[in-house]
Structure 1
Amino acid sequence: MTFLPETGYVPTDEDRAGLDAWFAAYDVQSGKRDVEGMADLAVFPLNLVSDDSAGNGRTAQWDREQFVATMTQVMGEGSEDIVFESQRTPVFLSSALAVAFTDSTMTAGGESQQLRYADILVKRDGQWAFQTMIQGGWGDNL
């Protein structure tokens, strides 16, 4: 039997700062409803994991065009910025792989909504990008 090497990666301060900077940039793009800018921070095809109204788990892969079309509809139109207040818990699997769990309050047009989701991020050529979005309640749209 072959055992895998130790996988308990401990992130460096640089790892954490890089991931924090990525989320800050993504939040800026999201707040401005800049869906193309959001797409620039992803790896396509993008994996999606959710559940549907019947209680079944659902998965899909979106290309950039599908992401932009869907997120444009989800983000809605308007000139008012969306404000996100988020608490993130990143788990680094290596220096180039991370899973980030997020609890967030999104406020737009004076109304707030609670969000809980996870993202799987990969680092390529020194830059983080999200590759998988995991959030309940999207499955009927997949």
Structure 2
Amino acid sequence: MMQLPETGHAPTEEDRASLDAWFAEYDAHSARRDVERMADLAVFPLNLVSDDAAGDGRAAQWDRARFVEVMTRVMQGGDEEAKEGNGEDITFESTRTPVFLSPAMAVVFTDSTTTTADGHSQRLRYADVLVRRDGRWAFQTMLQGGWGDQL
């Protein structure tokens, strides 16, 4: 059995830069509500961990079709204009704290504020588990409260 360091992987500058670049790309797709491109940055089946309206913990796995279906509905609220990519953009202000478990695995904790063009803001706290495959990051697990009723 391999002895792992007590603190996990100490990320290199390239590790951090590549993870930051992944989030910049994902946020850009999210801002445009381009759910298909968001899905391109995931590993399916995607694990989701959340809680529901009753306060119970929930977990599920989504395939790409389920991710696209739910994220389209959530991000675009059923607005046909938004579904066609003509909806207003969303801006993100995020503080991310990555914890590298290895050169190919990271858990990233995020505190974020999303703001729509009409000035509506929402604060979020969530975590993602990302894996690096073929030199590119992809998210594999999403952890965020309040999604359980969608699971």
**Other structure's SS at 1:37 match:** helix
Once the two structures are superposed, the pairs formed by residues 83-122 of structure 1 within 5 Å of their partners are 83-108=91-116, 109-122=118-131
**Equivalence for 2:5:** 6
* Cα deviation digits, residues 62-89 of structure 1 (max 9, x gap): 0000000000001114321010110000
* Cα deviation digits, residues 38-96 of structure 1 (max 9, x gap): 00000000000001111111000000000000000011143210101100000000100
Measure the CA separation in 2 of the matches of 1:5 and 1:75: 40
Measure the CA separation in 2 of the matches of 1:4 and 1:17: 27
Measure the CA separation in 1 of the matches of 2:50 and 2:99: 20
Measure the CA separation in 2 of the matches of 1:22 and 1:62: 21
TM-score, reference length from structure 2 = 0.90
Amino acid at match of 1:17: A
Q: Percent identity?
A: 70
Amino acid at match of 2:107: V
Measure the CA separation in 2 of the matches of 1:129 and 1:112: 27
Displacement of 1:140 in angstroms is: 1.1
Number of residues paired by the alignment? 141
Amino acid at match of 2:136: Q
- Structure 2 gaps of 5+ residues are none
**Equivalence for 1:130:** 139
Kindly report the root-mean-square deviation, in angstroms, between the aligned alpha carbons of the 2 structures: 1.2
Displacement of 1:4 in angstroms is: 3.8
**Equivalence for 1:55:** 55
Is the deviation greater in 36-45 or in 70-79?
Answer: 70-79
* Cα deviation digits, residues 85-108 of structure 1 (max 9, x gap): 100000000100000000000011
**Other structure's SS at 2:102 match:** coil
**Equivalence for 2:89:** 81
Measure the CA separation in 1 of the matches of 2:2 and 2:12: 26
Displacement of 1:141 in angstroms is: 1.1
TM-score, reference length from structure 1 = 0.95
Measure the CA separation in 2 of the matches of 1:54 and 1:3: 42
**Other structure's SS at 1:91 match:** strand
Displacement of 1:9 in angstroms is: 1.2
